[in-house]
Structure 1
Amino acid sequence: MILSRLSIVNFKNIAQADLSFSPNINCFLGNNGMGKSNLLDAIYYLSFCKSYTRNPDSQNIRHGEDFFVVQGYYERNGNEEELYCGIKRRQKKAFKRNKKEYDRLSDHIGFAPLVMAAPSDNELILGGSEERRKFIDLVISQFDKQYLSTLIRYNKALEQRNALLRQECSEEMLYDIWEEQMDSTAAQIHNSRDRFLQSFIPVFRRFYNEISSQNESADLIYKSHLSEGALLPQLKANRHRDLILGYTSRGIHRDDMDMMLGEYPMKRIGSQGQCKTYLIALKLAQYDFLREQGDTAPILLLDDIFDKLDAERVKQIVKLVSSDHFGQIFITDTNRKYLDEIIHFIGSQYNIFSVDRGEVKILEGKTP
């Protein structure tokens, strides 16, 4: 997957930009707060129909304006593709592929595979279990359409059961209807997550070892109520307790991953550099997995990834992302030191852009 051109109007602090990209590496250079991350977020929007920062759509419209438009022109397996996202205040979001609007935004997920690493990823380690479930779901949903559909059905059934609990409903037949639907969909979701993590975890360990020069070991451990057996008996056994709580306490919506450094939780003992290493290894493993599963290479977005890392870890990351394994890369930084090292390693096409208060200009580039 190659993003050849990006057009932006009124997205966050970017009034207007029309940029052409290298199929290899593209660097955005500028001070903090100038709009580098906003450029990556615009690209992310075109893959996932929403912001990486999870802002409501209206908050991504430039201050004082009534709309934003982001358009991307891609090359995908020899075909030219155009993606369009347009949002007006107080109106429905329009998302189109080749000028045809999607009936459901979920139908688009996976068409333009993408992996993004950003400072906010720290919530994967420090935040609640919801953050880690979202990470798993995002990866699987990009290559397995059925998974996303099943997850949506499970969540709808969960909402209905929770509504019954809040109403203190005593009609067992109503609980049975939704619990049976939760049970069937939960088994499928759990199996998909388990298969994914069995393949994913060894790749993650390998990337962590490479970045850390094998100075420490890291691991992921999947935790799920369904590891104890089918969900339906658990729901029935906990129905009285859930009525007291007012919510469903068992199910795949409570799944989690223990993020470990050696024998201890990363969030408890990991340094800033170790946590950053862990997160980058997760994202590179995510890229590797999607590349193996899909029919096109994902786009890789790296936002300010070198901060908090020592020189040796930076060196290992530069070597990794400079390899032929990775396709088109977009990377931001506040200085050129590491960007120039990556460009030197790759030795192929590149573009370097400056970003200053939302204005984007090309500084230099190398073409074939």
Structure 2
Amino acid sequence: MSLTKLSIHQFRNIASASLNFNSKINVIVGANGSGKTSLLEAIYFLGLGRSFRTHLTSRVVTYEAKAFTLFSEIIHHKNPIPIGLQKSKSGETLLKINGAYCKKLANLTQYLPVQLITPESYNLLTGSPKNRRAFLDWGVFYHDPNFYPNWSRIKRLLKQRNAALKQCKTYNELQVWDNELCVLSDQISSQRQAYFDLLIPVINQTLQDFLPDFSITSQFFCGWDKNNKSLQQYLQDNFERDKQLGYTSAGPQKSDLRFKVKGVPVSDALSRGQLKLFVYALRLAQGLFLNSFDNKQCVFLIDDFSSELDQDRQQILAKHIINSDAQIFVSVIKQENIDMLFGQERTVFHVEHGKITVE
């Protein structure tokens, strides 16, 4: 998969732009506030149907405009697929893929697998387990076609169960949800574990370049202690507690990835700069896995490439990016060292006050 063309209208400070992209490396140069991150955000929208900066569409639409519109051409299995997306401030969404209207933004994900790295990416390791579940599920989604329908069903069951908790007086009243929930939870747990087991060697290989001085252990936690008792038993034993909390406290919605250095969580053992390098290794590993194991091309969006990276680390990151054989969009404030890091086989876009020109 790769993004070949993109037309942007009324997206943040980009009033209008029509761009043709390099199938490999695209460098976006501009000062802070120029609109270079907005360009990455527009591409991210085409991959996941949402922003990575806000959940409010009104903040994405250009001031005084009613809606933003994105038209694109994506190469999918060697075929060009036109995709159009429009979102209004009032909340209306129009999505058209290959000439047909689609109701679900989730349909976008199969056409443009996007990996995002920003200066705040270390939150993947320091933030809540939700961030790490999202990281893991991104990979499982593309690796196992049965994952998404299973997880969608689990989310519906959990919503029904949590609502029932407020009304049930005995655990037996929840059995209708828990029987199916436990079966699906075991399936989801196995799917996540199988993918993570395959991903770990790729992560370790990239870590050898980024953090060679650290021995980092990786573990998947399914959301309950399987060695202690079954999920069914956990749900039954925690009924009164869950009823007081108002939600289900054990299950795949509580799964996590645990990374440690000598038994200490990486969030406590590594500096912010080292955590950022670790996230680079994780994101790159997922992209490499997608390319090599699943035969799908990942698109990397890297915002503020040189932030908190010395020259040696920039070279390491650039090397891995180039070797990934993926399409890359990299934003930088200054064009210094671009030729040395990425060579001549790239397209450079200059952004100034929302206007985009090609070098």
Q: TM-score range by the shorter chain?
A: over 0.9
Structure 2 unaligned residues grouped into runs of 5+: none
Are 2:41 and 2:52, in contact at CA under 8 Å, matched by a contact in 1?
yes
Distance change (3 Å), C-alpha of 1:315 and 1:262: farther
- Partner deviation per Cα, 1:140-191 (whole Å, 9 max, x = no partner): 2234332111111111111111112233x21544301111121111111100
Q: Which residue of 1 aligns with 2:213?
A: 215
Q: Which residue of 1 aligns with 2:287?
A: 287
Distance change (3 Å), C-alpha of 1:91 and 1:246: closer
- Map 1:36-185 to 2 at 5 A: 36-167=36-167, 169-170=168-169, 172-185=171-184
Following TM superposition, the consecutive aligned residue runs of length 4 or more in structure 1 with deviations greater than 6 angstroms are none
What SS does the corresponding residue of 1:322 show, helix, strand or coil? helix
Deviation at 1:268, TM superposition (A): 1.1
Are 1:226 and 1:251, in contact at CA under 8 Å, matched by a contact in 2?
no
Q: Size of the alignment, in residue pairs?
A: 357
For residues 305 and 358 of structure 1, what CA distance do their matches in structure 2 show?
20
Distance change (3 Å), C-alpha of 1:95 and 1:144: farther
For residues 237 and 307 of structure 1, what CA distance do their matches in structure 2 show?
48
What SS does the corresponding residue of 1:360 show, helix, strand or coil? strand
- Partner deviation per Cα, 1:114-143 (whole Å, 9 max, x = no partner): 222112322211111111111111222234
For residues 263 and 339 of structure 1, what CA distance do their matches in structure 2 show?
39
- Partner deviation per Cα, 1:190-226 (whole Å, 9 max, x = no partner): 00110111011121111111123x2222332212215
- Partner deviation per Cα, 1:59-106 (whole Å, 9 max, x = no partner): 311121100001111222321111111012324311121121124333
Distance change (3 Å), C-alpha of 1:274 and 1:88: same
Q: Which amino acid aligns with 2:241?
A: R
1:273 aligns with 2:269: no
Distance change (3 Å), C-alpha of 1:54 and 1:91: closer
What percent identity do the matched residue pairs reach?
27
For residues 215 and 55 of structure 2, what CA distance do their matches in structure 1 show?
35
Are 2:299 and 2:328, in contact at CA under 8 Å, matched by a contact in 1?
yes
Distance change (3 Å), C-alpha of 1:45 and 1:268: same
Are 2:37 and 2:331, in contact at CA under 8 Å, matched by a contact in 1?
yes
Structure 1 residues 169-178 or 128-137, which shifts more?
A: 169-178
What SS does the corresponding residue of 2:287 show, helix, strand or coil? helix
Q: Which residue of 2 aligns with 1:253?
A: 253
For residues 41 and 278 of structure 1, what CA distance do their matches in structure 2 show?
23
Q: Which residue of 1 aligns with 2:226?
A: 227
1:351 aligns with 2:350: no
- Partner deviation per Cα, 1:5-47 (whole Å, 9 max, x = no partner): 1100011221111111111211000112211111111111111
Distance change (3 Å), C-alpha of 1:327 and 1:292: same
For residues 141 and 29 of structure 1, what CA distance do their matches in structure 2 show?
33
What SS does the corresponding residue of 1:31 show, helix, strand or coil? coil
Are 1:287 and 1:298, in contact at CA under 8 Å, matched by a contact in 2?
yes
For residues 245 and 91 of structure 2, what CA distance do their matches in structure 1 show?
37
1:24 aligns with 2:16: no
For residues 292 and 187 of structure 1, what CA distance do their matches in structure 2 show?
27
Q: Which amino acid aligns with 1:106?
A: A
Are 2:136 and 2:192, in contact at CA under 8 Å, matched by a contact in 1?
yes
- Partner deviation per Cα, 1:214-249 (whole Å, 9 max, x = no partner): 222233221221533432121112112212222211
For residues 262 and 289 of structure 2, what CA distance do their matches in structure 1 show?
24
For residues 139 and 116 of structure 1, what CA distance do their matches in structure 2 show?
13
Q: Which residue of 1 aligns with 2:205?
A: 206
Q: Which residue of 2 aligns with 1:366?
A: none
Q: Which amino acid aligns with 1:118?
A: T
Deviation at 1:298, TM superposition (A): 1.6
For residues 271 and 136 of structure 2, what CA distance do their matches in structure 1 show?
24
Are 1:95 and 1:102, in contact at CA under 8 Å, matched by a contact in 2?
yes
Are 1:208 and 1:217, in contact at CA under 8 Å, matched by a contact in 2?
no
Q: Which residue of 2 aligns with 1:191?
A: 190
For residues 155 and 317 of structure 2, what CA distance do their matches in structure 1 show?
38
For residues 263 and 315 of structure 1, what CA distance do their matches in structure 2 show?
30
Are 1:151 and 1:189, in contact at CA under 8 Å, matched by a contact in 2?
yes
Structure 1 residues 173-182 or 40-49, which shifts more?
A: 173-182
Structure 1 residues 221-230 or 300-309, which shifts more?
A: 221-230
Distance change (3 Å), C-alpha of 1:357 and 1:25: same
